[in-house]
Structure 1
Amino acid sequence: MDEFADRWSGDLREFLDELLRFDTTDGQEAPAMVWLRERFAEFGFETYEWTADAAALAEHPSFPDDPAEIEVEDRPSVAGVVEFGDPDAGPTLVLNGHVDVVPATRSAWSSDPFEPEWDDHRVTARGAADMKGGLVSCVFAARHLAELAGGADGPALDGRVVVEGVAGEEEGGIGAAAAAMDNPYPFDRDAAIIGEPTELGVVTAVEGSVMKRLRIEGRSAHAATRWRGESVLPHFEDIRHAFEELEAEREARVDHPLYDDYPVKWPVCVGTVRAGNWASAVPDELVAEVRIGVAPGETVASVEAEFQERLDEVVAESEWLSEHPPTFERFSIQFEPASVDPVDPVVGAVRAAAEAAGLDAEPYGGTFGADSRHYQHAGIPTVLFGPGSIDQAHFPDESIDVREVETAAGVIADAAARFCGR
């Protein structure tokens, strides 16, 4: 790792600083993608670009059914490819990172989210941890490996390394899903490493989730005669308590060895509640948005059915709800869980490289969703490994220690060498 830092530290920091200056929220990835593809070309990588098709994504279970709700226009994804030895005789390894970031409320930050603030080795900016830092690790892993393989004493490799910068991960994985569904390359892909913030740990499973919108109908009345109305609030509380009970049942019933240490493995979160329209009127309508966790090995549809069944039980016990049944429908994007066999060669390569760097290489499960599910669904074994912490993701004053970015790059380069070694 010292060898890597001595060679690349200055270039890596400059690259990260420039990438962090692009505001890539809300479908604004295009300028950063142009810049990234130009950098790939400067590095001697063969470049590729693709844009997702909304109609095709609408057929995918992660996305809304209406193509008009999926923003793909002017949202390219790009890749740079490095070939080694006889590329067709060896495997192809994808190193993936997303360029898009979640919005940043300027008033919640101590500095401009898109003007990186450096404090020695730590940089603060939106996307530092989630996940421009991880993408930069992937880029410099490929650069490092290309330079080593080109030297007289370099490793003997056959195959390819593909570095992807994808769009729209925060909106369901637009770029990655498109790449998984319709291969943008003239060669097959054998495995992938995604540089999500795993604190330099090896993540072999990610949790899924389903987003549901609950609508309850009541009857309005003047507050002075509220007994003439039917408030939605008690009915909502009955449903919420029923969902809490089901969450507890699932915690006890649904098990996975990589998630035993989490206090809540498959959480249910009522994220928004909107009820009523006037303080002096009985609230006659309620809309709540709920995020439900899905364990690796489950499907979104099966968990969705469990919660619908529990809702139906609450409805059956209420005369009002039976006559005015609530709706409980999907909205936004869905995340299927994903896991990779811990004995797969790409997992072995990452674990061996992590151990060689003195890191804890015992696999664990992530409670977040990731683009790995798209590649896993396409039959491409995928593992997560990257710098930074998920605790920094989506937070004000998001930051990362650039030394972790350097360490991750060195480990990923070593893993790629092990995976593509003759």
Structure 2
Amino acid sequence: MNLRRFTEEFLRFDTTDCQEAAAQSWFRERLDEFGFEVVEWTADADRLAEHPSFPDDPDELVVADRPSVAGVLEFGDPDAGPTLVLNGHSDVVPAGDDLWESDPFEPTWDGDELTARGAVDMKSNVSACVFAAVDVRDAVENGELNLDGRIVVESVVGEEEGGIGAAAAALDNPYPFDRDAAIVAEPTDLTVVTATEGTVMKRLRITGRSAHAATRWVGESVLPHFERIRHAFEDLEAERGERVQHPLYEEFPVPWPICIGRVQAGSWSSTIPASLTAEIRIGVAPGETVDEVEREYEQRLAEVVADSEWLSEHPPSFERFTIQFESAEIDADEPVVTALQAAMTDAGFDDTDVHGATYGADARHYVEAGIPTVVFGPGTIEQAHFPNETIHWPDVETARETIAAAAQQYLAEN
């Protein structure tokens, strides 16, 4: 089975909504066929509930029948060399079939362009990692390389929910050996990412007073109050963009963005809207904590409330919900970074500088566990989570070759 066919078969699995089990079983079988030693683990909801990224109530975490799967290849004296993890996730976000021009779970080709849900985020990338590891193994077996150490390829679950599988692996090592470094193959457009942004997720609830539309002056609409809060938050976003500086984020027009992604208000077209719920994603810079940024937005909300007689008497709630993402960053001179840059230089890449990303990734769990982790993979984040998600296939092949070369370099020099 070649990389293209492997990727096509992987993409055909609908792994939305906690349904990774069938894909992971298929992935485990393929690893076994390729000669990997297979390792499997399932997250413990009680352990995750102790982690600050996840809800405190274990019942809110879906972990049953969601195995994460890894394949291990050992070289020479494996304990005499380092262990490098190549990580990716099998879960994908919902497709919204009515927005697609093709079946999102039937890979579609247009020349070198591959379209499917997960083509970018990130089954093509996981597939590239599998074949990169096999390429290293084949080179060793053919006598082209003499290496000590291990390569581990992971397909984890629940990354879109905050990193269910990766967090479990970071909290409780599923392997009988230590891990020295990792490459997370998220779509970086084949650039080196050493810093990922964090997020705090907040739910805002505002209460007004209902009234008939014909006498709306006797009611209190929540909409003007929401608009004042929204403008205040956007002003704070702009202020933070000027005040919170990081050299890897100067290229972004909005380095620490907020997104009011969902708003629900009112109950009837002829009734003054007396309630509003908004769900908000707030960016956290590398070096900041979720708690610090949360306090800034809570303070800005308090200032809006203090300026309003109605809100002062009917204060809105502003609570965390779902998963929180801490930011993560590693030094540019970490051996896994320099090995990747050396492989890119040998391959003729124009850009081998380190960059930051305004999204979060499973890298943060490994960094928190003391495992230096760099993010590098094919595809652009602009295609992730979008209808007609498409990746340029030659970039997948390039990623395979580059990751294999980086792994060889890392194992040979550390």
- Which interval holds the TM-score relative to the shorter structure? over 0.9
Q: Structure 1-normalised TM-score? A: 0.96
- Which residue of 289, 303, 308 maps to 1:318? 308
Q: Give the CA deviation at 1:201.
A: 0.8
Q: Does 1:287 align with 2:266?
A: no
Name the residue aligned to 1:6: none
Shifted more, 93-102 versus 64-73: the winner is 64-73
Q: Cα RMSD (Å) of the superposition?
A: 1.1
CA distance in 2, matches of 1:244, 1:120: 42
Q: Structure 2-normalised TM-score? A: 0.98
Name the residue aligned to 1:181: 171
- Which residue of 319, 327, 332 maps to 1:337? 327
CA distance in 2, matches of 1:186, 1:149: 23
**CA deviation digits over 1:232-263, x for unaligned, max 9?**
11211111111111111101000111110111
**CA deviation digits over 1:357-391, x for unaligned, max 9?**
11121111111110000000101000011111111
Name the residue aligned to 1:55: 46
Shifted more, 317-326 versus 293-302: the winner is 317-326
- Which residue of 361, 367, 370 maps to 1:376? 367
What runs of 5+ residues in structure 2 fail to find an aligned partner? Answer: none
Within 5 Å, give how 1:193-272 maps onto structure 2: 193-272=183-262
Name the residue aligned to 1:4: none
Name the residue aligned to 2:77: 86
Within 5 Å, give how 1:5-404 maps onto structure 2: 11-152=2-143, 154-359=144-349, 360-404=351-395
Q: Give the CA deviation at 1:226.
A: 2.0
Partner amino acid, structure 2, of 1:327:
S
Q: Give the CA deviation at 1:227.
A: 2.1
CA distance in 2, matches of 1:235, 1:32: 46
**CA deviation digits over 1:129-165, x for unaligned, max 9?**
110111011101100000001122x222111000000
SS of the residue 1:391 aligns to: coil
CA distance in 2, matches of 1:383, 1:257: 17
CA distance in 2, matches of 1:58, 1:333: 11
SS of the residue 1:31 aligns to: helix
**CA deviation digits over 1:190-246, x for unaligned, max 9?**
000011111111111111111110011111122222222222112111111111111
Q: Give the CA deviation at 1:283.
A: 1.5
What runs of 5+ residues in structure 1 fail to find an aligned partner? Answer: 1-9
SS of the residue 1:82 aligns to: strand
Q: Give the CA deviation at 1:314.
A: 1.1
SS of the residue 1:392 aligns to: coil
Partner amino acid, structure 2, of 1:32:
A
CA distance in 1, matches of 2:389, 2:280: 26
Name the residue aligned to 1:3: none
SS of the residue 1:421 aligns to: helix
Q: Give the CA deviation at 1:44.
A: 1.0
Identity of aligned residues (%): 67
Partner amino acid, structure 2, of 1:158:
D
CA distance in 1, matches of 2:312, 2:99: 45
CA distance in 2, matches of 1:226, 1:52: 52
SS of the residue 1:282 aligns to: coil
Name the residue aligned to 1:5: none
CA distance in 2, matches of 1:161, 1:298: 32
SS of the residue 2:142 aligns to: coil
CA distance in 1, matches of 2:273, 2:185: 47
